């Protein structure tokens, strides 16, 4: 049975926050269990792999636009330092590295980091992967990165505002922060939970909690508190008939927001 209580937009339970960082042990265990499936085109993430292809193409296009690069040139991201916060198995990191960027990926799931390292080795890509959380990274790498990416992570984090601030701190002043997440709408509940988890089984049941989804206005408010200014945004949509993902002007389900880090007060 579906848990109708998930239709109540309440804050994440603060008891999920560990004493060492802003993450949930329950969420880590969830992704540890699926770690070996990150790159399996026939596994639990097979639909997510197509989603990732379209999503990363948008990331690269926006980074090129932000830094006045030609996306059609060889290695358009060369010279840029990019951090992927919550990198999982490296699905975002690898295309960025192939585009010429110097990439660092961090994740609190040690098993996912090991999978990412192995796959990068097989792909002959030089990517630095670390088993750590953004709070630790922000203390050591403040103002280091040209681009900070946080893709489909914030909805799994107990204190979402803290994560936004940490991403902002890690980004250089006037640099680019990209956030990707799910909107908290009735449509997102029907599509991302009822459809994707219970009916189509594209994701394991329990992957998402609807109450943790973030409305664009909420994300923008948290971003402003972290000295981030909205540049642009776009939605993502899935076609059941063609089984393909594409971008859309609607932010009703999956969406991406691109921000610029402002000068500190």
Per-residue pLDDT reduced to its tens digit, 39-86: 988 877 788 899 999 999 999 999 999 999 999 999 999 999 999 999
- Structural domains for the chain: 4-261 (3.40.50.150)
- Residue 19 is predicted with a pLDDT of 39
Per-residue pLDDT reduced to its tens digit, 250-260: 999 999 999 99
- Pick the closest to residue 177 from 153, 212, 157 (CA basis): 153
- Residue 99 is predicted with a pLDDT of 99
Taken as a whole, the chain contains a residue count of: 265
- Pick the closest to residue 155 from 147, 146, 164 (CA basis): 164
- Residue 37 is predicted with a pLDDT of 84
- In sequence order, what DSSP letters do the residues of 32-69 get, joined into one string? HHTGGGTT-TTSTTHHHHHHHHHHHHHHHHHHHHHTT-
DSSP type of residue 192: I
For residue 214, which phi and psi values (nearest 5 degrees)? -120, 120
Statement: the pTM of the whole predicted model exceeds 0.85: yes
- Measured CA to CA, the distance from residue 210 to residue 140 in angstroms comes to 33
Write out residues in the chain with pLDDT < 70, as ranges.
1-22, 265
The 3-state secondary structure of 214-263, one letter per residue:
CCHHHHHHHHHHCCEEEEEEEEEEEECCCCEEEEECCCCCEEEEEEEECC
- Residue 22 is predicted with a pLDDT of 67
Q: Look up tokens 């999920």; give the residue.
A: 16
- Pick the closest to residue 97 from 73, 118, 78 (CA basis): 78
């Amino acid at each position: 049975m579906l848990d109708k209580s998930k239709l109540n937009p309440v804050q994440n339970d603060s008891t999920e926050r560990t004493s060492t960082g802003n993450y949930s042990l329950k969420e880590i265990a969830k992704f540890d269990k699926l770690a070996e499936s990150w790159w399996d085109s026939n596994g639990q993430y097979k639909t997510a792999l197509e989603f990732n292809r379209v999503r990363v193409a948008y990331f690269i296009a926006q980074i090129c636009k932000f830094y006045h690069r030609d996306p059609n040139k060889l290695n358009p991201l060369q010279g840029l330092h990019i951090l992927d916060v919550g990198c999982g198995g490296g699905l975002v990191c690898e295309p960025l590295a192939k585009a010429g960027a110097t990439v660092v990926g961090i994740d609190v799931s040690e098993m996912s980091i090991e999978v990412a390292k192995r796959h990068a080795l097989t792909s002959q890509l030089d990517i630095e992967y670390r088993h750590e959380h953004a709070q630790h990274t922000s203390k050591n790498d403040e103002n280091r990165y040209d681009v900070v990416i946080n893709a489909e992570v914030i909805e799994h984090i107990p204190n979402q505002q803290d994560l936004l601030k940490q991403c902002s701190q890690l980004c250089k002043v006037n640099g680019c922060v990209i956030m990707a997440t799910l909107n908290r709408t009735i449509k997102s509940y029907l599509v991302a939970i009822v459809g994707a988890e219970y009916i189509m089984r594209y994701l394991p049941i329990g992957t998402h909690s609807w109450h943790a989804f973030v409305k664009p206005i909420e994300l923008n408010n948290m971003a402003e508190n972290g000295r981030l200014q909205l540049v642009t945004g776009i939605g993502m949509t899935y076609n059941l008939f063609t089984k393909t993902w594409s971008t859309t002007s609607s932010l009703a389900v999956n969406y991406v927001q691109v921000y610029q880090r402002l000068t500190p007060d």
